[in-house]
Structure 1
Amino acid sequence: MRFRIRAPSGTHTVTLDDNSTVNDLCLKITELTNLIEYDVKGGFPPQPLVLAELPSDTKLADTGYKFNGEQLIIASKEEPGVTQAKATASHSASMTNVPPSSTEQNSSQQKQSFAGKQSSTSSSSTTNANLPSLSRKPNDVESDPPTYEIPTRGGRMVLRVMPDDNSCLFRALSTVLLGPSLDGMTELRSIVAQVIASDPETYSEAVLQRAPDKYAEWIQRPESWGGYVDIKCIAEYLGTEVVGVDVKSGLITRYGEGAAMRAFVVYSGIHYDALAFVPDGCTAEETEFDTKQFPVDDEAYLEAAKGIAGMLKERNYFTDTAGMSIRCGVCGWTGNGEKAATKHAESTGHMDFQEG
């Protein structure tokens, strides 16, 4: 049998004999990843493979899981500093919800690519991996997110702020579509890659601005940002409508129309956040009571999403990439707008910019 392993260390192709056991697989994972403790998911959409509950001499063919031609997603459960020196025949592949790493949760540089644009009329905004990175101005929204009361539904809509990193879109979509997940962002990136690989006519080089196989490879990197192409792939694959609400323009964009349920993300120029409904009697901080998907025919939630966007606009929670003042964090150059910054980046190689 032949399959792929996708781990923090990279992607590996594995070939095992048909008589290989659970222990053989776990030793191979440790060999390739240097991990002793990890979680495993497989299939589409990825589901936990609870290998630790099986006898180690169980043949892979008898586990009930499919391996041949599949991709396994490996997520570390180890504390920083664990190395191959600890490797033994022991293994752990239990199903646990691994939270985002502290690096993802608290991005010290708080950078987000200029691209990641929501507009479905411009594919270049979602596929150019060499555009500069932009640091947003500080804003109090993260510490004091807006809420919008929906009295007829017994609660309120709340903004769930995503960290400023190149995965804000995938993190927001994972929040509203997958909920607590072993590695939701990795799952969604894998889904995009699979959809693009299976439909090269729709997702052609002209749309992606690179060969589909190259895009599929690129989008699975954790540092690659996403945009409308990726939202479309994910919404249609999971069968849930995703509504993008633009803070500056108020524009509503629907992806995956025709589904019974919908979820909301908010786009503020270079960043995506998620929306959730909190019932009366719960504080906004009690995220375990969040509802994040809603019937598509219930307009009350859509109006609430628009209301949240309006509040954010009043608080200047958006970035005007076309006309904003920008300063190069490398040489001090100043200019106005994304085009000027991109030109400066192309001529100098400088990729670190701050909103002026």
Structure 2
Amino acid sequence: MRVKVSGAGLATKIVDIDGDCDLSEFLNLVSKDSGISNAIESVRYGFPPQTVQVTEVTKKQKLEDIGISSGEKVVLTGKTVTTTLQNDKLEKPLKKSSKTDSTATRKLRENQISLDGIWPHRILQLYSVPDDNSCMFHAISHCTYGNFSHSQPFREQVAAEVISNPLEYSDAILGRPNREYAQWILKKSSWGGGIELAILSKALRLAIFVLDVDAGKFEKFNEHQFDDFIMVAFNGVHYDAMEVVNEVSGQISRVLSQHSENVDRVLARAQEVAVKLKNQGFSFNTARDRIQCNVCSEILAGERDVARHAETTGHVDFGQSK
């Protein structure tokens, strides 16, 4: 069966697994490249959400007996999930390191890559945001505010901008009447995309670099207008935030400067993350792969079809088609 897994320091991804396997085998499979299976304390799935604590007893239970079925979204929680870290905006050029970075000697999680030789004692990582149809807004809010407090206000900013510029955001550009689009994007079930990224980039006065995991390259919004930028990763159906962690001080850099000496090498390392994640099943090509509504099982193609389906039916639970 096929399930979507996120949380606990893992990049959101879709995995294929035998329904006869037990919970222990499942946890070992989804975290085999990160080595965190022993740190996972519970799994959450279903609607309304159900939580199963990871114990010696539940580890021996089959997934189907627990209630996890194909098409399920499973969120892992544990000791590795959260730390409160201070945002550290990078103002000075990055300096080359002549010493071996300590991160090279330890095993990184699957959503991390060392910046050894580029930025001493730093790790570039994906920060997994909730998979609830607001992931793009969550990712930008996390990169700019360190939390998800501005996810809904960002929707309101987009709606206001669309209404105030009906010529720039015409019915033809939006794919529906201007005011109808503005009302639609306010709904938490509506997916954000290129239009919203461009608007929020200008509103925040930050370039937004979107790492396309399937293509292994960045799509850059307003890179020539603003010196500073944030990075988010997109796997075809889901956005996550990207950030740089200082292993020594515990600080996090989420807003970076395009004038930093080695910024191109940091971006190149980020593209290595894309290759790594694509090989682990994180990538989803909406032109090639199909999306299934987990409520009514209708097969859809691409974000627009999903958005229209959600609008007309109220269904907001989607996954990769089997």
Verify: 1:171 aligned to 2:138, yes or no. yes
Residue pairs, 1:134-145, within 5 angstroms? 144-145=109-110
Structure 2 CA distance for partners of 1:326 and 1:176, relative to 1, 3 Å: closer
**Counterpart for residue 211 of structure 2:** 245
8 Å CA contact 2:45–2:75 kept in 1: the answer is: no
Q: Structure 2: which 5+ residue stretches go unaligned? A: 1-43, 49-70, 82-108
Whether contact under 8 Å (2:142, 2:241) holds in the other structure is: yes
Q: Percent identity?
A: 26
Q: How does 1:271-310 map to 2 (within 5 A)?
A: 271-281=238-248, 289-297=251-259, 298-310=263-275
Deviations 1:101-152 (A, max 9, x none): xxxxx77459xxxxxxxxxxxxxxxxxxxxxxxx687699x98442121133
2:45 & 2:139 partners in 1: Cα distance?
16
Q: Select which of 231, 244, 249 maps to 2:197.
A: 231
SS at match of 1:308: helix
AA aligned opposite 1:200: P
Change (3 A) 1:272 1:325: closer
Bigger Rg, which one: 1
1:171-211 CA distances to partner (integer Å, 9 max, x unpaired)? 00111123346x21022112112221222211111111122
Mapped to 2, the partners of 1:267 and 1:153 lie a distance apart of 24
3-state SS of paired residue (1:153): coil
* CA distance 1:338–1:200, change in 2 (3 Å): closer
| 1:318 aligned to which of 279, 283, 287 | 283
Deviation at 1:329, TM superposition (A): 4.3
1:259 to partner: Cα distance: 0.3
Deviation track 1:244-282 (CA, whole Å, cap 9, x = no partner) reads: 011111132111222010110000010000100011325
Gaps of 5+ in 1: 1-105, 111-134
For 1:234 and 1:350, the matched residues in 2 are separated by 26
Q: Would the aligned equivalents of 1:322 and 1:337 in 2 still touch at CA under 8 Å?
A: yes
Using the alignment, how far apart are the partners of 2:203 and 2:220 within structure 1? 14
**In structure 2, what is the Cα distance between the partners aligned to 1:270 and 1:149?**
26
Q: By how many angstroms is 1:328 displaced?
A: 5.9
Question: How far off its partner does 1:321 sit?
Answer: 2.9
Please say if residues 323 and 336 of structure 1, whose CA atoms lie closer than 8 Å, have aligned partners that are also in contact.
no
1:159 aligns to 2:126 (yes or no): yes
CA distance in 2 between counterparts of 1:308 and 1:296 reads 20
Amino acid in the other structure paired with 2:136: L
User: Is 2:210–2:232's contact at 8 Å kept on the other side of the alignment?
Assistant: yes
TM-score normalized by the length of structure 1: 0.53
TM-score (norm 2): 0.58
Paired residue type of 1:311: K
CA contact (8 A) 1:158 1:278 kept: yes
Q: Distance in 2 between matches of 1:218 and 1:330?
A: 21
What amino acid sits opposite 1:295 in the alignment?
S
CA–CA distance in 2 between the matches of 1:325 and 1:230? Answer: 23
CA distance in 1, matches of 2:292, 2:185: 28
The 1:256/1:323 distance shift into structure 2, 3 A limit, reads closer
1:221 aligns with 2:187: yes
Higher-RCO chain (CA-CA 8 Å, sequence separation at least 6): 2
Question: How many angstroms does 1:224 deviate by?
Answer: 1.8
Quick one: structure 1 residues 176 and 329, their matched pair in 2 at CA, closer, same or farther if it must change by over 3 Å? closer
Structure-1 residue corresponding to 2:160: 194
CA apart distance, 1:223? 2.2
The alpha carbon displacement at 1:294 in A equals 0.7
Contact 2:123 2:247 in 1 (8 A): yes
Q: Are 1:235 and 1:242, in contact at CA under 8 Å, matched by a contact in 2?
A: yes
* Cα distance, 1:214 vs structure 2: 1.9
Structural RMSD (CA)? 3.6
